[in-house]
């Protein structure tokens, strides 16, 4: 297959997230960077995009995590190394041939993804079933959709979604069962919201153990107990029968099985069912009345029903409600399974599961197998009748050794599979593992023998089929990086290396044509469809046979002729018993898992978009306060969750929206660094539905307890900002451990940054103190003032103080700070100072007449300038000697330095550039100096402020790894596991951060980690500087200048030189990476947030320096990630009098992007308005 190099001029595509299948228009700039917008002409989304979709361009533009070249390891103990495509595929082919020859074709398997394009699915399915001779192909669609597939097949005859999206606008009752489309299918839900607004009589029923965002639109929320869905559906069916709200003619003429169903649903009374479900009988009857009175009724469901050990029966019990009421095959009606992945349906169309054949043919049917064999021109009998291994079975058989090799495409099973530690053991034991992926971060790479780099979305062309049977074409817009290839080309190249015919496709279009031809004459016939038609029409619903169709087939079964042998739909009956894992006294809680709004699957794409990470940045366990109180757990406590299979450790998140006895944890997080304790599938069980083989993710027995670490003694060496920050952070989390701090200075914690103000008397000493004596007592710490540490014994875990006393520790925190860098050969004369401590400041104050002294400051950095301006304000004559050509050379650009120079000159400060001290003059005290330029300067005092040196001598002597500083990892650990380092001595990935904010940030991470929290780890700090000068506001953040004149960086500048007003922003990849603010620093907090969080700017870029008013930064937890609105911003507007939901959205911008946060906005509004209503009104006195 020849690589497709022609980039389509048609820059339209389809979103690669959920199964809604939104159309996207792509624009590309001269740097090959793309932007996206919703396609207003697409029949699915009509221009709308959710928060994930509208940020898709960031995932495409960011290639920092991409696999670029084939890699291979020659044995399990060797590292991966770059090889050619031929080498990688020839090795893989040789191994597969050898395994197949020795162990048979079932010794190998392919595990693929619902994100693969249809063409990719087609060739890999053809390869293994038709040529290797095994049915061992399955996908992660098994984990989400297979119960719906089996449900449709058993009831309607085939895996067929009978309705169209347009039916949403026609329906007058929608039953959402086990789904949260407000978050998981947002654009579809926008259409429901619009329909409800247009038709207030539209009734919405939601059944879910959690009160999700979808419930905000519901007329009735049936908050049932997990596992009781079938009982609920049977009870609703009974009510419909009792009330005469069934379609008898349809039942008689178009269905089988009603009599048995009638008997089954009447075995349990509605009152009994309500008790089993844990809901009101009246609510069940109300829901039934909505359905019974509806002219158009849609049932809508997803994982809450599918991911169950009785998932097939749950599906059937819900579909039965459409069948007994006749709500199928007519406008506004039908059972609608919401697909979780963008091409799960397309994968099923080509037979991409272990029990399927192309075009919905039946694997067990010999004639069907023969049809495919003839089409593929392979010997009859090649395709096996026995289904292959399913997703979970593959990893089970890797553990047993029956399966020897697995090829993993476009998915990360080490996050998504249930009982995932067992799956990981399987990969460890596998003889041969191939990983075909786009990301260099997937956990499977650790076990890969061969790594194949794949092209990503917009780097290849192909098709997808969404949840509504819409087939759409995806354009190639950009080239793949490095040597990455389209997945279909990789498979075809491999097939040729295996010696197989039938894979010599010239392009993806030829693959699609072959797939379409194989559907001819089937119920999903798309033989009339090709790329040209798809490009013209954008999206077409199957079937689309050769005879002309305008846009395909919108609605199926309008003639009530179903795909069963007798053309009748099956109303199937079964008991309502849940077969999930039993609760026990040791594991009394039900764990259910699922998605959150701004993340998708295993976060390989959404995790790269920092705007999306702001909404919910860490994994959590949602727990009802009643369950938490029983276990002595407080909101945000670190907790441990355990099951019979494993354990996790996350923060507790209180919510009254989840039923007591039930807990929820999101599915998206895998390993953080090397720890898997945020991975929920450590807990989930390996039970599967016996028919669909879909795992029971929604019901696992667990226990939750407060995380308790062993009591420890923590010793801190140093008493600077980092040490103080650590005490405060740690005591917020732990009040039991012993903390001792050793400080060479005989003072409490104080703020060294304010020493210039202390020197001139504008701040008294007590204003510099950061922790008073009484606070030390409250924090339960022992501060050894005036007592340093002379020795660290890491083997014995002790330190020896300067008095010779030995102190044992469990944890040692090094915060020794730095000392001033001093000039060589400085004479020991009075009047020469550094400025690092109170002692330095006190000595300086005694020596200098701050109202009339002559002071020379060597160094034009932050400290030197702040001291100079403070002294100048009191009347001292100040001179600055700067070794380079400008002030604050690392923090400002040339223009910023010039404006600062002008300000200092206006204060009477003398500045000499490009010069250094050559000789100091004086006998006992300094009287002057000679510069290298020959200039003589008289002075009474010299302050050296030319930088610092980290205090690492003690640490090096102890044998702890040091380079420029103390080498630390992401948790600030040194090479000794119980020794940590923070502040000016810490060296992280070759970088040192000598600012207070960094020390405090590092201290918080150490405190959290020691208290069991692995979620937050250190990734470096934003270098920022605020010059404290009364007459001029000045600050800088991040980059001050474009590095190496790189054309991919951009500047946004506003300047008024006469007023010394200068603002500059540096933007790279649509992120603010640097800023200089002179004359007004009102944007500092906002810019700091944008740079620290690496936030994508989007439309905010236009407002950076142009708004004409101060932009309000995000306050509190992020609610709207489209427009960067926090909970606090919303509450402030509510306090100002806004009580209308839409007005609140318009005022703040929340919900004005994709709209998926509107339920949260409404919940905040309702909650706060209710609080205001209950507050006591002030009583006015009579006058």
**pLDDT tens digits for range 1051-1079:** 999 999 999 999 999 999 999 999 999 99
Q: Which of 498, 565, 542 is nearest to 130 (CA)?
A: 498
The encoded tokens of residue 578 equal 């849940």
- Using one digit for the tens of pLDDT, what is the confidence trace for 142-174? 999 999 999 999 999 999 999 999 999 999 999
Q: What per-residue confidence (pLDDT) applies to 550?
A: 57
DSSP string, 1004-1045: HHHHHHHTT--S--------EEEE--TT--EEEEE-SS-GGG
CA distances from 338 to 56, 181, 266, 475 (A): 21, 8, 30, 25
| Residue 762 pLDDT > 90 | no
Query: Running DSSP on this structure, what letter comes out for residue 973?
Result: B
Average pLDDT, integer, range 731-755: 95
Task: Look at the block and give the residue holding tokens 């259910």.
Answer: 592
Last residue of a domain, one of 968, 989, 1010: 1010
Domain count, the chain: 7
Last residue of a domain, one of 994, 1010, 1026: 1010
Cα 8 to Cα 478: distance, rounded to the nearest angstrom: 9
Beta bridge partners of 1034: 1027, 1078
327 and 216 within one domain: yes
Arithmetic mean of pLDDT over the chain: 94
| Residue 1178 pLDDT > 50 | no
What percent of the chain has a predicted confidence (pLDDT) above 70?
Answer: 96
**pLDDT-derived band of residue 1177, with 50, 70 and 90 as boundaries?**
very low
Q: Name the CA radius of gyration of the chain, rounded.
A: 34
| Range from 58-72, 618-632, 752-766 carrying the lowest mean pLDDT | 752-766
205 and 189 within one domain: yes
- Given a contact cutoff of 8 angstroms between Cβ atoms, the answer to whether 209 and 227 are in contact is no
Cα 271 to Cα 362: distance, rounded to the nearest angstrom: 42
248 and 159 within one domain: yes
The encoded tokens of residue 1142 equal 């839409």
What percent of the chain has a predicted confidence (pLDDT) above 90?
Answer: 87
- Given a contact cutoff of 8 angstroms between Cβ atoms, the answer to whether 989 and 712 are in contact is no
780 and 726 within one domain: yes
Last residue of a domain, one of 946, 972, 1002: 946
- Given a contact cutoff of 8 angstroms between Cβ atoms, the answer to whether 1116 and 1129 are in contact is yes
Q: Is the sign of the CA dihedral 757, 760, 764, 768 positive or negative? A: positive
The encoded tokens of residue 216 equal 């905000």
960 and 935 within one domain: no
Q: Which of 654, 648, 836, 619 is nearest to 745 (CA)?
A: 836
Cα 357 to Cα 493: distance, rounded to the nearest angstrom: 23
Average pLDDT, integer, range 837-847: 93
The encoded tokens of residue 249 equal 């003619």
CA distances from 117 to 19, 254, 434, 461, 508 (A): 13, 36, 19, 8, 10
86 and 168 within one domain: no
Q: What per-residue confidence (pLDDT) applies to 607?
A: 93
Residue 893 lies in a domain: no
Q: What per-residue confidence (pLDDT) applies to 111?
A: 98
Q: What per-residue confidence (pLDDT) applies to 767?
A: 87
Average pLDDT, integer, range 699-728: 97
The three-state (H, E, C) secondary structure of 1124-1170, written as one string: CEEHHHHHHHHHCCCCCHHHHHHHHCCCCCCCCCHHHHHHHHHHHHH
**pLDDT-derived band of residue 1179, with 50, 70 and 90 as boundaries?**
very low
Residue 1067 lies in a domain: no
The encoded tokens of residue 1118 equal 């992020």
179 and 279 within one domain: yes
- Using one digit for the tens of pLDDT, what is the confidence trace for 795-841? 999 999 999 999 999 999 999 999 999 888 889 999 999 999 999 99
266 and 156 within one domain: yes
Q: What per-residue confidence (pLDDT) applies to 5?
A: 52
Q: What per-residue confidence (pLDDT) applies to 3?
A: 47
Burial class of residue 464 (count of CB atoms within 10 Å of its CB; 0-12, 13-18, 19+): buried
CATH number at residue 232: 3.40.228.10
26 and 154 within one domain: no
489 and 350 within one domain: yes
- Using one digit for the tens of pLDDT, what is the confidence trace for 376-420? 999 999 999 999 999 999 999 999 999 999 999 999 999 999 999
Q: What per-residue confidence (pLDDT) applies to 202?
A: 98
Could you tell me which residues come within 8 angstroms of residue 797 by beta carbon, excluding any fewer than 6 positions away?
808, 809, 810, 812, 978
The encoded tokens of residue 494 equal 């491999």
Q: What per-residue confidence (pLDDT) applies to 1084?
A: 87
CA distances from 534 to 42, 318, 462, 513, 531 (A): 12, 34, 10, 12, 5
The three-state (H, E, C) secondary structure of 253-265, written as one string: HHEECHHHHHHHH
Q: What per-residue confidence (pLDDT) applies to 1166?
A: 86
- Using one digit for the tens of pLDDT, what is the confidence trace for 926-967? 999 999 999 999 999 999 999 999 999 999 999 999 999 999
3-class SS of residue 292: helix
Residue 1005 lies in a domain: yes
**Residue 994: Cβ within 10 Å count:** 18
The encoded tokens of residue 109 equal 């398997």
Q: Which of 237, 230, 245, 141 is nearest to 177 (CA)?
A: 230
Q: What per-residue confidence (pLDDT) applies to 1162?
A: 81
Cα 770 to Cα 279: distance, rounded to the nearest angstrom: 55
**pLDDT-derived band of residue 742, with 50, 70 and 90 as boundaries?**
very high
Q: What per-residue confidence (pLDDT) applies to 689?
A: 98
| Residue 608 pLDDT > 50 | yes
Residue 793 lies in a domain: yes
CATH number at residue 841: 3.50.50.60
CATH number at residue 1127: 1.10.10.1100
What are the phi and psi torsion angles at 675 (to 5°)? -100, 140
Average pLDDT, integer, range 287-311: 98
Q: What angle do CA 652, 655, 658 make, to 5 degrees?
A: 110
Average pLDDT, integer, range 724-749: 96
- Using one digit for the tens of pLDDT, what is the confidence trace for 90-111? 999 999 999 999 999 999 999 9
Cα 905 to Cα 494: distance, rounded to the nearest angstrom: 72
- Given a contact cutoff of 8 angstroms between Cβ atoms, the answer to whether 325 and 292 are in contact is yes
| Residue 887 pLDDT > 80 | yes
The encoded tokens of residue 1004 equal 């918080």
Cα 855 to Cα 847: distance, rounded to the nearest angstrom: 11
Cα 433 to Cα 430: distance, rounded to the nearest angstrom: 7
Average pLDDT, integer, range 667-691: 96
320 and 178 within one domain: yes
Cα 415 to Cα 411: distance, rounded to the nearest angstrom: 9
Average pLDDT, integer, range 541-557: 84
Domain that holds residue 643: 589-706
| Residue 1183 pLDDT > 50 | no
| Residue 338 pLDDT > 70 | yes
Residue 18 lies in a domain: yes
| Residue 548 pLDDT > 80 | no
**pLDDT-derived band of residue 1174, with 50, 70 and 90 as boundaries?**
low
Higher pLDDT, 29 or 325: 325
**pLDDT-derived band of residue 1122, with 50, 70 and 90 as boundaries?**
low
- Using one digit for the tens of pLDDT, what is the confidence trace for 1128-1142? 999 999 988 898 888
| Residue 1181 pLDDT > 60 | no
The encoded tokens of residue 411 equal 């998915």
pTM: 0.90
Helix (H) or strand (E) holding 323, with range, is helix 311-324
Q: What per-residue confidence (pLDDT) applies to 692?
A: 97
**pLDDT-derived band of residue 1180, with 50, 70 and 90 as boundaries?**
very low
Cα 639 to Cα 647: distance, rounded to the nearest angstrom: 10
Average pLDDT, integer, range 470-494: 97
Residue 212 lies in a domain: yes
151 and 141 within one domain: no
- Using one digit for the tens of pLDDT, what is the confidence trace for 212-257? 999 999 999 999 999 999 999 999 999 999 999 999 999 999 999 9
Q: What per-residue confidence (pLDDT) applies to 1171?
A: 64
Residue 1030 lies in a domain: no
Q: What per-residue confidence (pLDDT) applies to 718?
A: 97
Residue 111 lies in a domain: yes
Number of residues that make up the chain: 1183
Q: What per-residue confidence (pLDDT) applies to 1106?
A: 67
């Amino acid at each position: 297959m020849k690589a497709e190099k022609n980039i389509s001029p048609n820059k339209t595509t389809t979103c690669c997230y959920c199964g809604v299948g939104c159309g996207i228009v792509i624009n590309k700039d001269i740097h090959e960077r793309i932007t996206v917008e919703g396609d207003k002409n697409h029949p699915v989304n009509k221009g709308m995009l959710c928060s994930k979709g509208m940020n898709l361009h960031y995932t495409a533009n960011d290639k920092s995590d991409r696999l670029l070249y084939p890699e291979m390891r020659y044995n399990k103990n060797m590292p991966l190394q770059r090889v050619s495509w031929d080498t990688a595929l020839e090795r893989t082919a040789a191994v597969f041939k050898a395994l197949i020859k020795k162990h048979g074709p079932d010794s190998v398997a392919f595990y693929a993804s619902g994100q693969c394009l249809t063409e990719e699915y087609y060739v890999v399915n053809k390869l293994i079933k038709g040529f290797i001779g095994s049915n061992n192909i399955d996908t992660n669609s098994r984990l989400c959709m297979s119960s719906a597939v089996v449900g449709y097949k058993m009831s309607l005859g085939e895996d067929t979604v009978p309705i169209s999206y347009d039916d949403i606008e026609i329906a007058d009752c929608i039953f959402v069962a086990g789904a949260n489309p407000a978050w998981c299918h947002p654009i579809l839900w926008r259409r429901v919201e619009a329909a409800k607004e247009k038709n207030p009589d539209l009734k919405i029923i939601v059944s879910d153990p959690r009160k999700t965002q979808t419930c905000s639109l519901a007329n009735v929320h049936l908050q049932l107990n997990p596992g009781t869905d079938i009982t609920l559906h049977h009870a609703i069916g009974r009510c419909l029968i009792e009330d005469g709200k069934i379609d008898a003619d349809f039942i008689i003429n178009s269905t089988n099985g009603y009599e048995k169903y009638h008997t089954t649903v009447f075995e349990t009374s509605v009152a009994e069912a309500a008790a089993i479900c844990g809901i009101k009988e009246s609510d069940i009857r109300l829901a039934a009345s909505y359905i019974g009175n509806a002219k158009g009724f849609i049932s809508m469901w997803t994982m809450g029903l599918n991911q169950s050990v009785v998932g097939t029966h749950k599906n059937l019990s819900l579909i039965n409600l459409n069948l007994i009421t006749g709500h199928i095959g007519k406008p506004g009606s039908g059972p609608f399974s919401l697909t979780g992945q963008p091409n799960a349906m397309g994968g099923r169309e080509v037979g991409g599961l272990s029990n399927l054949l192309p075009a919905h043919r039946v694997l067990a049917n010999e004639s069907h197998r023969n049809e495919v064999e003839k089409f593929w021109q392979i010997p009859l009998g090649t395709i096996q009748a026995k289904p292959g291994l399913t997703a979970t079975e593959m990893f089970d058989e890797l553990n047993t050794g029956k399966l020897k090799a697995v090829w993993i495409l476009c998915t990360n099973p080490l996050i998504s599979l249930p009982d995932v530690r067992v799956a990981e053991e399987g990969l460890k034991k596998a003889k041969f593992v191939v990983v075909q992926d786009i990301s260099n971060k997937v956990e499977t790479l650790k076990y890969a023998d061969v790594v194949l780099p794949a092209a990503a979305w917009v780097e290849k062309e192909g098709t997808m089929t969404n949840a509504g049977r819409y087939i759409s074409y995806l354009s190639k817009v950009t080239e793949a990086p490095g040597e990455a290839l389209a997945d279909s080309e990789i498979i075809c190249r491999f097939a040729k290396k295996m010696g197989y015919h039938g894979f010599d496709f010239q392009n993806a279009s030829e693959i699609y044509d072959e797939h379409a031809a194989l559907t001819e004459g089937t119920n999903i016939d798309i033989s009339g469809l090709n790329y040209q038609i798809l490009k013209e029409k954008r999206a077409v619903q199957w079937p689309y046979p050769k005879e002309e169709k305008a846009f395909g087939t919108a609605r199926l079964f309008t003639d009530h002729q179903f795909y069963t042998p007798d053309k009748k739909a099956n109303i199937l009956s079964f008991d309502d018993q849940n077969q999930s894992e039993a609760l026990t006294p040791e594991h009394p809680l039900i764990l259910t898992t699922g998605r959150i709004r701004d993340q998708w699957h295993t976060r390989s794409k959404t995790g790269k978009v920092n705007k999306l990470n702001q909404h919910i940045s860490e994994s959590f366990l949602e727990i009802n306060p009643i369950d938490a109180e029983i276990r002595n757990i407080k909101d945000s406590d670190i907790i441990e969750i355990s099951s019979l299979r494993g354990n996790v450790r996350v923060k507790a998140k209180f919510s009254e929206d989840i039923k007591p006895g039930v807990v929820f944890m999101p599915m998206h997080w895998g390993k953080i660094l090397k720890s898997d304790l945020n991975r929920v599938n450590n807990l989930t069980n390996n039970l599967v539905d016996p028919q669909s083989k879909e795992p029971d993710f929604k019901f696992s027995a667990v226990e939750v307890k407060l995380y308790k670490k062993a009591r420890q003694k923590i010793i801190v060496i140093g008493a600077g900002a980092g040490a103080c920050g650590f005490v405060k952070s740690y005591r917020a989390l732990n009040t039991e451990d012993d903390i001792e701090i050793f400080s060479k200075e005989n003072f409490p914690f104080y703020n060294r940054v304010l020493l210039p103000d202390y020197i001139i008397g504008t701040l008294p000493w007590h204003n510099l103190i950061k922790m008073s004596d009484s606070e030390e007592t409250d924090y339960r710490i022992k501060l050894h003032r005036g007592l340093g540490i002379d020795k660290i014994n890491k083997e014995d875990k002790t330190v020896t103080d300067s008095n010779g006393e030995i102190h044992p520790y469990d944890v040692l925190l090094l915060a020794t700070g730095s000392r001033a860098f001093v000039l060589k050969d400085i004479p020991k004369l009075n009047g020469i100072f550094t400025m690092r401590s109170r002692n330095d400041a006190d000595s300086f104050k005694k020596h200098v007449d701050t109202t009339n002294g002559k002071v020379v400051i060597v160094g034009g950095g932050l400290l030197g300038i702040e001291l100079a301006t403070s002294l100048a304000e009191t009347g001292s004559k100040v001179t600055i000697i700067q070794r380079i050509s400008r002030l604050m050379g690392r923090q400002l650009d040339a223009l910023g330095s010039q404006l600062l120079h002008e300000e200092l000159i206006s204060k009477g400060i003398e500045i000499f550039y490009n010069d250094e001290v050559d000789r100091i003059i004086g006998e006992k005290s300094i009287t002057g100096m000679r510069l290298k330029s020959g200039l003589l300067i008289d002075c009474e005092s010299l302050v050296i402020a030319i930088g610092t040196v980290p205090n690492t001598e003690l640490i090096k002597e102890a044998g702890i790894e040091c380079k420029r500083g103390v080498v630390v990892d992401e948790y600030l650990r040194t090479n000794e596991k119980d020794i940590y380092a923070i502040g000016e001595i810490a060296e992280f990935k070759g970088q040192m951060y000598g600012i207070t904010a960094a020390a405090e940030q590092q201290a918080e991470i150490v405190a959290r980690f020691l208290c069991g929290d692995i979620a937050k780890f250190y990734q470096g700090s934003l270098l920022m500087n605020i010059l404290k000068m009364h007459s001029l506001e000045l600050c800088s953040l991040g980059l001050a200048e474009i590095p190496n004149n790189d054309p991919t960086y951009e500047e946004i500048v506003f300047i008024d030189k006469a007023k010394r007003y200068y603002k500059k922003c540096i933007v790279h990849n649509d992120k603010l990476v640097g800023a200089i603010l002179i004359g007004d620093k009102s944007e500092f907090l906002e810019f700091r947030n944008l740079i620290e969080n690496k936030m994508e700017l989007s439309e905010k870029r236009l407002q950076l320096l142009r708004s004409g008013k101060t932009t309000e930064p995000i306050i509190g937890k992020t609610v709207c990630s489209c427009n960067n609105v926090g909970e606090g911003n919303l509450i402030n507007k509510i306090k100002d009098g806004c009580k209308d939901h839409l007005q609140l959205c318009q005022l703040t911008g929340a919900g004005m992007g994709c709209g998926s946060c509107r339920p949260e906005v409404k919940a905040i509004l309702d909650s706060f308005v209710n609080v205001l209503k209950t507050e006591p009104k002030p009583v006015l006195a009579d006058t």
